[in-house]
Structure 1
Amino acid sequence: MNIGREPPANDDAAPVEMLAQLFEAHGWPCEFVSEDEISGEIQGSWTTYQMRGIWRAEDRVLQLLCLPEIRVPDAKRADAFELLGLINEQLWIGHFDIWSQGGVLLYRHGMMLGDDGLLGLSMAQAAVETAVSECDRFYPAFQFVLWGDKAPKDALLAAMVDAAGEA
């Protein structure tokens, strides 16, 4: 998946700065929340995702959060957690989670960077595209569980069949 225009081929940069360059190159709206955090919006196949990049210099870890604007109601938490478990078993990179405060669904991926703490453009592009792709891939399963009253296993199966049928 390649979202929008190709960003310019810049050298490695500080992680939040590189994400800002990537967002700007694609025309995605973004803003610096702080020196170590950026927030932006990316249009996916199903919805607009809020993408956040948070840099922890002391650990040299960039955490990417992709939020598909889904809140899990208390009455659906058990089914949503069962679905999360089934989905997370299939992921090689990152995982889905539900924040305990507010029931917000999110995809989270932590990237350990080298001693220099710099992020390359191709790695930034791949990480952002993976986050959006995984959110798009499993968005229907969450919809089936939260609003379609499907059992988690059935919802995942239905979402995977639908995704496999798209061209």
Structure 2
Amino acid sequence: MRADRHEAERADDEAPVDTLVSLFEARGWPYEMIGEDEVSGEVQGAWAKYQFRAIWRREDHVLQLLCLPEIRVGDDKRTQMFELMSLVNEQLWLGHFDLWSQGSVLLYRHGLMVGDEGLLSIGQAQMAVEHAVEECDRFYPAFQFVLWGGRSPAEALAGALIDAAGEA
């Protein structure tokens, strides 16, 4: 019984954010603790450096992961980007792309339920971060095709998926 109490107290002290900090340190990625339950870091992807944020919601046992590819959307492209995000999100099994209303910043968001214990293994943390970066890398060209290439959302998605398939 005493070991169970000790284990529960230890689990309460170690939020999943701490596991992400360990991963960032092991990989040599820059990071900063924003608060007790939030970390912000930077991860190099194939196309860009991505701002990565993780927020631990203790009351819900959810770790919210945000990956921001430093893409800002002007008012003139919002409608096309919303259409493209809808098409892109149909391709995703986990997470989704969204446009933050403040600042019109594109982001990838995923909520990871970690259970009542709130424990996140280093392997789970690594998979979650890698998945977010892979999805940002996979669709980064499509977003750029709409913003800078003048392509329609359908053309942009088709071009990005063909390009990605050709690299394999």
TM-score normalised according to structure 2 size: 0.91
**Are 2:66 and 1:96 equivalent residues in the alignment?**
no
**Are 2:87 and 1:82 equivalent residues in the alignment?**
no
- % same residue: 68
Aligned residues: 156
Over residues 36-95 of structure 1, what are the superposed CA-to-partner deviations in whole Å (9 max), with x where a residue is unaligned? Answer: 100000000000000000001000100000000000101000000000000000100000
Over residues 130-166 of structure 1, what are the superposed CA-to-partner deviations in whole Å (9 max), with x where a residue is unaligned? Answer: 0000000000000000111100000000011111111
**Partners of 2:15 and 2:37 within 8 A in 1:** no
Look up the match of 1:39: 40
Equivalence map 1:12-51=2 (5 Å): 13-51=14-52
Equivalence map 1:11-160=2 (5 Å): 13-160=14-161
Indicate the larger mover: 101-110 or 113-122.
113-122
Give unpaired runs (5+ residues) of structure 1: 1-11
Q: Which structure would you say has the larger Rg?
A: 2
How far, CA to CA, are the matches of 2:123 and 2:57 in structure 1? 20
AA matched with 1:156: L
DSSP 3-state at the match of 1:77: helix
AA matched with 2:113: M
After superposition, the CA RMSD in angstroms is 0.9
Q: CA deviation at 1:14?
A: 2.1
**Partners of 2:15 and 2:119 within 8 A in 1:** yes
Give unpaired runs (5+ residues) of structure 2: 1-10
Indicate the larger mover: 65-74 or 113-122.
113-122
More helix by percentage: 2
DSSP 3-state at the match of 2:86: helix
